[in-house]
Amino acid sequence: MRKGNMMGGGKGANHFKRRLVSREPMLGTFVKVPAPQNSEILGLEGFDFVVLDEEHAPWDRGTLDHALLACKAYDIAGLAG
């Protein structure tokens, strides 16, 4: 079960950065399907971050914005790259 608040009152970007700098183990994956539902599901499943893979998938500004908003809502760090 996902820890924290599902609708955005969670840890945020500073928590992710702090864990990254301290080299804590985290769970993440690359997402190539340009849709916000993927980020929501991964956030609910307990992932710490997703990389929205703009290089190898057809993301555009709109789909990227929606996916990043879903990341924020489901307390998962969204990294665009």
* CA trace torsion 46, 47, 52, 57 (10° rounding): -80
The CA angle 74-38-27, to the nearest 5 degrees, is 70
* Identified catalytic residue from 56, 60, 61, 81: 56
56 catalytic? Reply is yes
Among all residues, which ones are annotated catalytic?
56
